[in-house]
Amino acid sequence: MNKADIRRAIQALASALPPSPSGRELWVVGGAAMVLLYEARESTKDVDAFSLDPGTSQALRTAAAAVAAELQLPGDWLNDGAKGFVHGLAPGQVLLEAPGLLVRSVAAAQLLAMKLSAWRDDLDVADARLLLSKIAGDRASVWQRVEPHLVPGRELKARYAFDDLWEADREPA
């Protein structure tokens, strides 16, 4: 899904949701956030997103299935597979505000923490490098904003990854 596909699918999702007096929030993370906010790459295979309201989950799944059929998207185009990497919540940019649905990303520091905690492949490394470049501050202050969002049990791995990135990106050419 490229940037236009993601935006079209999220807009269709907002339209497919039944009215809600209290509104709903959807938090986008992972590759979709990287495509939408930072143009880190041309596309991603899906939209990793989650809702903090358990009562919203079923409505989102139903609407996402309708959008998949309407736009000929895979059935799992919208999924919460990345929620295991969400620790705490640092609100980021609003991506879409539609009647009954607010879609936003988590902050860059939290996206970086998720990438450092996962640290699976070259894509995570590239995303983490880009995110690190978007967060102002010295080493200690950037780490202080990232650390609260690391996945418990992966802190040491993430710290080593952060240190490697910081040193590599600040070496003289």
Spatial distance between the Cα atoms of 112 and 115, rounded to a whole number of angstroms:
5
Residues 44-62 have pLDDT tens digits of 999 999 999 888 888 999 9
Mean pLDDT score of the chain, rounded to an integer?
Answer: 93
Quote the tokens at residue 56: 């919203």
CA-wise closest residue to 151 among 111, 99, 114: 114
Predicted structure pTM score: 0.92
Spatial distance between the Cα atoms of 147 and 93, rounded to a whole number of angstroms:
20
Lowest-pLDDT range, 56-60, 103-107, 114-118? 56-60
Q: How confident is the model at residue 82 (pLDDT cuts 50, 70, 90)?
A: very high
Q: How confident is the model at residue 12 (pLDDT cuts 50, 70, 90)?
A: very high
For residue 84, how many other CB atoms are within 10 A of its CB? 12
- Domain ranges in the chain are 3-106, 109-169
Q: Which residues contact 125 (CB under 8 A, 6 or more apart)?
A: 119, 161, 165
Q: How confident is the model at residue 100 (pLDDT cuts 50, 70, 90)?
A: confident
